[in-house]
Amino acid sequence: MLEHLHIKNVALIKESEITFGEGLNILTGETGAGKSMVIDSLQFALGGRAGKDFLRHGEKMASVEALFAVQSSALQEKLEENGIEPEEDGSVLITRTLSETGKSVCRVNGSTVTVSMLKEFAEDLIDIYGQHEHQSLLNPSRHIRLLDRFCGAGFGDAMEEYKASFHALKEIDKQLDALMGDESQREQRMDILIFQKEEIEGAALKTGEEEDLLEQKKRLGSMEKLMRLTEESIALLYDGMDRMPSACDQLGDALSKLQEAAEYDNTLKPFADALGDAYAAVEDTARELKREADKQENDPGLLEEIEERLQVIYKLKRKYGGSVEAVLAFYDKVAEELDFLANSNEKVMELLNEKEKEQKKLMAYAETLTARRKDTAEQVADQIEAALRDMEMKDAKFHIQIDEKADWTADGKDKVEFLISANAGESLKPLAKIASGGEMSRVMLALKTVLVDADDIGTFIFDEIDTGVSGRTARKVGEKMRFLGGKRQILCITHLPQIAAMADSHFLIQKETADSQTITHVTPLTEEGSVAEVARLMGGSDVTETTLAAARELISEK
């Protein structure tokens, strides 16, 4: 439900705050006062386009804030999926600004969003109907979706089963096209796959090999320096150099002297033992290092082999993936596709059998959808005819025609179209053939009246859809509006007293000129204010006691 709307610097509106209530919210005012600006502002806030005159003349920024109380779990899920934190009380605050440069910024609960995201959220917030907002009714391709919304519990599950089967059949057809397509293209594809497979096989790649080769390359590239440093270490530890005794010789002499000293002073024995351990450790290290040095060999040929092997690995990585693991994964895919194409005849027969089974399943699911739609179509048509009769279209006939389409589609094999005969003696014809704006308005309202219980949207907006309606018919239209207001929040712009009299909340749109500026105001009316406005709608600008009395009577009858 739309709770609050704040509009600033939009066309003739300098600044206005509107708090809407539950039920039927009526907006009235003289022609040209700016009634539709309120709806235009709300549409802008929910992702609609802004015309060149949307920004108030002389201002740098227009802004619209809309606060909704939301019960829809679908919308809450959408918000969370897009990283928008829901408020604890379920409220959703939408803010959109428009600068003089034409740039707009959209926010939901303080988080910046794109216009496309905003439009997606709006689908679960409001439904707007106006004199030019009934394309969904005039477009037969959308009729099947409207009908499906009436089909009730279980229909969604049946549709999901159908869609799963439909997409499975599509995948089978895709595989068959690949196997049964142009023979020369298939041969060319196989040649490419064979080359790729053999190239990767010939390289015999191993996981971790590249890292090992790089380590060997680093070692061999420094082999001359490595050998020199190792030899010098051995000389210092074991062999001695430049007439200087080795570390082992010096440790041996020190150990011998300390052991002799310990014979005279027993407290020196632990030091002698520790030095003996150190001597043994150094001697062992020196011997092991010498054995390792004997293995070292400066082999330029081995380094060249390693370089060549690395180049093979780098080449395959460039062609088939950024790592050895990616190349091996690519190889698996190539082998799988090659096997698929090489065994095409067997695969074709297997797929044809699968296709036949899937077609039978799809047909059964489609028949379930069709039967459900046909049953529902009769019920909906009866309800819409009853609603039209309530609005003085007593001879109207409404029919939902369901024919079989030539091809399978994602929603079944049914072609659905709404047909109507507005007057006695007329044949059924598409809704687009309705000439009267008043008849179209009533058909729209009848559909919405029937659809309301199958719809989760909390707010319906009717922007002067009472065009071409008057007298007793207007009263019936108002009663339908009031009926809808008992189930949903309704915002309705009207010029008819019969509809305005049904208001739960009534707002007056007025414009005034002061200091060479024209400003539109939105004022919530008291009970007496509503009576006066209904009287104005009944009798024009001259409000008399007679029209006031008539207005009170009209309001009392709601």
Structure-block tokens of residue 555: 């309001």
Quick: pLDDT tens for 495-525: 899 999 999 999 999 988 877 788 898 999 9
Q: How many residues does the chain have?
A: 558
pLDDT at 300: 61
Is the pLDDT assigned to residue 343 strictly greater than 50? yes
Nearest alpha carbon to residue 210 among 292, 293, 295, 321: 321
How sure is the predictor about 134, in pLDDT bands with cuts at 50, 70 and 90? Answer: very low
Cβ contact 60:46 at 8 Å:
no
Cβ-in-10-Å burial (0-12, 13-18, 19+) of 103 comes to exposed
Domain limits, the chain: 1-125+458-558
Structure-block tokens of residue 470: 């008057």
Nearest alpha carbon to residue 303 among 216, 224, 226, 230: 216
* Cβ partners under 8 Å of residue 376, min gap 6: 147, 150, 151, 152
Average pLDDT value over all residues in the chain: 86
DSSP conformational letter for 321: -
Pairwise pLDDT comparison (194 vs 226), residue with the higher score: 194
DSSP 357-374: HHHHHHHHHHHHHHHHHH
Mean pLDDT of the 345-356 span: 86
**Please, which residues bridge with residue 489 across strands?**
459
Measured CA to CA in angstroms, residue 166 lies from 352, 414, 473 at distances of 15, 14, 47
CA–CA gap between residue 440 and residue 508 (Å, rounded): 26
Cβ-in-10-Å burial (0-12, 13-18, 19+) of 138 comes to middle
Mean pLDDT of the 402-416 span: 92
Quick: pLDDT tens for 267-305: 889 998 898 898 899 888 888 888 877 665 655 667 788
Q: What is the pTM of this model?
A: 0.61
DSSP 449-499: HHHGGG----EEEEESTTTT--HHHHHHHHHHHHHHHTTSEEEEE---HHH
Nearest alpha carbon to residue 369 among 398, 406, 409: 409
Pairwise pLDDT comparison (315 vs 298), residue with the higher score: 315
Q: For the domain covering 1-125+458-558, report its CATH number.
A: 3.40.50.300
CA–CA gap between residue 209 and residue 184 (Å, rounded): 39
* Cβ partners under 8 Å of residue 49, min gap 6: none
Segment holding 128, helix H or strand E: strand 126-130
CA–CA gap between residue 107 and residue 15 (Å, rounded): 20
CA–CA gap between residue 196 and residue 315 (Å, rounded): 12
How sure is the predictor about 489, in pLDDT bands with cuts at 50, 70 and 90? Answer: very high
pLDDT at 181: 65
CA–CA gap between residue 533 and residue 526 (Å, rounded): 10
